[in-house]
Structure 1
Amino acid sequence: MTDTGSDDPAGTRTGHRDREPGPAAHDATSLFGPDSRFHAFFSDPRWALAVVRATVLEAAHPQIGAALIDNSTFVTHPWRRLRNTLVSLQRMFGPDDDVRGREAARLNRLHTRLKGADARNRPYDAMDPEVRAWVVATLFESSVTMCRLSGQPLEQDVMERLYAEFRAYLAALDGDAGHLPPRLQEFWPYYDRVVEERLENTEAMRVILYRLFDHLPAPPLLNGLPTMWAAGRAVAGPVIGVITVASLPEPFRRRAGLPEMPGAQTLMQGAYLAVGLARFLPEGWIQPEAIVRLLALSPGGDDPRARTVSALTDRMKRAGALVRLLAPLGPEPEPDGGTDTRSAEEFFAAVLDQTGDGYLDWPDLAAMAREIAGRLDLDEPAETRLYDAFADWWRELQAALDTDGDGRVSAREYAEAAPSLAGPALIRVAEVLFDVTDTDGDQRVDADEYRALFRRGFRRDRADTDGTYARSAFVRDFLSFMSGRERTSPYDPLFSEA
């Protein structure tokens, strides 16, 4: 059995202290929406720690770890990834069956494209039912563990209700939840077996534990305060890593060789207890989607909250100057946006290398297509048309820039041939991007269509006199951004914001 940090493993999984009542039976319609147990967890600040833990356990699965390393943008664009994940979970667990079905179809199309082989030439497939079941299993088990570590273990009926909701989530994705045991008491042997037999010390798991939080980029809201962000991250990053390692199943920690610092268990339980106290704040103060939207808000945007954010940023800059005066942390770096243009190397790192591995490859352009398709909530065939355009552009780039024939483009190769970037395939990407943005097909992007893509209103120099964006101007600006590397383009936050 998995060591869960107690002398009574069964008791940790079927605790009897949480007196919140749970239904004796679960009809299908009640497993989603505001009455679901998951809905309560979604706004629980403790769930942030649980999700980090679940992500580490997911990444320890060799197939998932390989897919993350090859395709994910979670290192370079973690805030964007977090926001997209929260939106997806809201859609899947919401009360609207049509929205849930649409989101499930979108996720399935996305995962169908994630196939390959790891460094040991073992194949991975994001549509593997075993893999998808494990992702759901880690979310459920980490939610249960979250309650136990914060001193409020779930009662058996509440836990069964929560398990039924997660199985329903898997069924909505796969059409069948058969790869998760049908009953809760059968789940625990399944979970222990996967932990003991399938999980590995993967590269993706190590990146999350030892690199992600130590190098976490600032969200847009704090992008102008790099020194203060770096100082806070230097303290919080290692602490999050220690807490997460201490919360993992002991047999896996031992087998994977994960070091546990003295006092880590006490620190972990203290963190869960402390974060859990935030649940007693007034309702509405802790809303994950609102917090993520705020962090993603640019002080220079046109959102009604931008003026408040700008004032807050100014105050934080003054506080940062005081901190540097009292405890010098080195000169404040020039924030992005200090000039209108940047070097080819800077553009490569900020925009093109979406996965952060130092090379331009198909997964980088696929990540761009994925972000656009998600923002615009594209259906077939528009989504496939967009991916095909980016795939053609990748083939054009590979033919023009891959001088050493290794199948990818390095920053040096890109910098040496950057002027040849704007070829016919890139023009086609711009045309398709306009078409999928122009939802009413009137050959102009209006204010609502513009905001759906860029999440901000027209800049004064973008809109025509009639308040729309013409195809020719849209395509010209996209090509100028991709070849001229302009900082001021609206495409920059679309592709480069963390």
Structure 2
Amino acid sequence: MSDTPRMSDRPEGFPGAGSLSWRYLGQWRLLTTIGRAIVLETAHPVVDAGVVEFSTYRKHPWRRIEQTLLSLQRLLYQDEADREREAARLRRLHGHVNGVDAQGRAYSALDPEAQAWVHLTVFDAMVLMCELGGDPLDEERQAELYAEWLLVGLQFGVPADAMPGTVEEFRVWFDETVRDKLTAGQGVEQLLDALGRLPAPAALSFVPEAVWSAGCAAFGAAIRTVVASTLPPSYREQLGERGRVPFGAETMVSLACRTAAVASDLLPTKWVYMPLAATYIAAKREAGRGLRRFGPHDRAAEPAAQLADLFVRILDQTGDGVLSWPDLAALARVFSDRLDLAAVDEEVMYAAFHAWWDELRTTADTDGDGVVDADEYRVLADAAPGAAMAALMVSVAAAVDRDGDGRIDQADYARLLGADAAATQRIAWLHAMDADGDGVVTVEEFADALRESVLGRARSDTLEFVLGRA
């Protein structure tokens, strides 16, 4: 009996940065084996019936491929709230795909067995991608990747009892399904035929139709050969002539896959990974730079420089060298404009900033001149934050949380930062505020990060970007 842990024995937690799923799913070289996955998925009788009746790949193949790859990336790389939205979208979409097939059998895209098959063929594609690329996964890493992919399946809504619990059980189930369940039906036939009639993608729309048609025939034949060479031999036999692989084709495909694997090791992330995956991977690497907390060594080494920079560039909006109500009113105006607040919400924002100003005058204006200079403000860095300041930061964070769900998601954050910030920056800066590392930035975490930044205890790229520019 295998000692590989079953899904129920695995620690809870969705695969994140550093996981095998993150490493392999988003690589462009998955295109070398994703064709196998698509054909095997379509060969399932339930999927075949849905594809024949509902799929748009015959007319819009590039759009379908793009949407499929984008959806896979969304289910894995995005933050929890965004993953949940994508999973819910897919469930709604598949809920409309049902009917009666040509043999009079009822089918539904939400059939648990079909869902499990579609999901786990992607795992199979990742394993084969590594094998053909010359960097095969050993037993331990296959088990680890499989356990991760089961969690992704649960996120998507695949019932746990529909998926084999271990990678060993998966292999038996996979072979039995290929042998006993898959068919060379109309959906697969149409899919393979469509490869020879691919329309020019939008980026190549300038190519004359005659030129494209001539090249497409050869291109389609090459794709069909690649796909056929990666299929299980038993299913290739079912396809007959369509599954025939020319002599030497498997060697050429293996060479191409190994070349792609070597290139993936040498090229930068943005070229190795698909756009969404590359953005999140790069953002995770940069996230630690978004909010850098200053420890005792930092405070001892350069407290004056840090606080002086914060005071001059962020807080002193009027540039007169001191803090007064006009400075804080300017901050309120920037946040209100950025978030496009309604009149009543804008009044709340101004009132919160004014309450902080009243608190500042009471706690920091030691000489009673009605303003707070840099030396007076510096004392606050080592003091407990006042109630008005804490309330202000919560008010700002709550205003950013436009849908009121208690979380700051990418849409909320992008509204604050505007279109100027690149996606990688936005994702990295937001993740830097995730204090407990659970993949969700709560309103409280966002407020805490802003407060620590305003007190000079940490450096926040969010404040730098929103408030520090001339």
Moved beyond 6 Å, runs of 4+ = 290-293
Say if 1:241 and 1:97 are closer, same or farther in 2 by CA, change over 3 A: same
Match in the other structure for 2:263: 278
TM-score, with structure 1 as normaliser: 0.51
Match in the other structure for 1:220: 202
Q: Distance in 2 between matches of 1:42 and 1:105?
A: 21
Percent of residue pairs identical: 35
| One-letter amino acid of the structure 2 residue matched with residue 145 of structure 1 | L
Match in the other structure for 2:232: 249
Match in the other structure for 1:469: none
Say if 1:149 and 1:287 are closer, same or farther in 2 by CA, change over 3 A: closer
Say if 1:175 and 1:143 are closer, same or farther in 2 by CA, change over 3 A: closer
1:444-459 matches, cutoff 5 A: none
Q: Quick one: which of 107, 115, 119 aligns to 1:136?
A: 119
Q: Quick one: which of 209, 212, 216 aligns to 1:229?
A: 212
How far has the Cα of 1:206 moved from its partner?
Answer: 1.9
Q: Distance in 2 between matches of 1:80 and 1:117?
A: 26
Q: Quick one: which of 7, 12, 16 aligns to 1:28?
A: 12
| One-letter amino acid of the structure 2 residue matched with residue 288 of structure 1 | M
| One-letter amino acid of the structure 2 residue matched with residue 179 of structure 1 | A
Matched residue SS, 2:272: coil
How far has the Cα of 1:287 moved from its partner?
Answer: 3.4
Taking only aligned residues, the RMSD between alpha carbons, in angstroms, comes to 2.9
1:66-105 matches, cutoff 5 A: 66-105=49-88
| One-letter amino acid of the structure 2 residue matched with residue 224 of structure 1 | F
Match in the other structure for 1:37: 20
- 1:83/1:289 contact within 8 Å kept: no
- 2:99/2:106 contact within 8 Å kept: yes
1:230-379 matches, cutoff 5 A: 230-257=213-240, 258-279=243-264, 280-289=266-275
| One-letter amino acid of the structure 1 residue matched with residue 108 of structure 2 | D
Q: Distance in 2 between matches of 1:84 and 1:233?
A: 22
Matched residue SS, 1:284: helix
- 2:33/2:230 contact within 8 Å kept: no
Structure 2 gap segments, 5+ residues each:
280-401, 404-410, 412-470
Matched residue SS, 2:161: coil
Matched residue SS, 2:206: coil
Q: Distance in 1 between matches of 2:216 and 2:184?
A: 25
Q: Any idea what the Cα deviations from partners look like across 1:163-215, whole Å, max 9, x if unmatched?
A: 11211122112263211111111111111110000001112212222x22211
- 2:195/2:220 contact within 8 Å kept: yes
Match in the other structure for 1:377: none
| One-letter amino acid of the structure 2 residue matched with residue 276 of structure 1 | A
Matched residue SS, 1:124: strand
- 2:49/2:107 contact within 8 Å kept: yes
Q: Distance in 1 between matches of 2:90 and 2:269?
A: 31
TM-score, with structure 2 as normaliser: 0.54
Match in the other structure for 1:484: none
How far has the Cα of 1:290 moved from its partner?
Answer: 7.0
- 2:26/2:73 contact within 8 Å kept: no
Match in the other structure for 1:382: none
Q: Quick one: which of 172, 182, 187 aligns to 2:170?
A: 187
More helix by share: 2
- 1:42/1:288 contact within 8 Å kept: no
Matched residue SS, 1:142: helix
Say if 1:175 and 1:197 are closer, same or farther in 2 by CA, change over 3 A: closer
Q: Any idea what the Cα deviations from partners look like across 1:97-150, whole Å, max 9, x if unmatched?
A: 222222211111111110012222222210000000000121111211121122
| One-letter amino acid of the structure 2 residue matched with residue 284 of structure 1 | K
Match in the other structure for 2:307: none
- 2:61/2:198 contact within 8 Å kept: yes
- Which stretch has the larger CA shift, 190-199 or 92-101? 92-101
| One-letter amino acid of the structure 2 residue matched with residue 146 of structure 1 | M
Q: Distance in 2 between matches of 1:41 and 1:195?
A: 24
- 1:244/1:268 contact within 8 Å kept: no
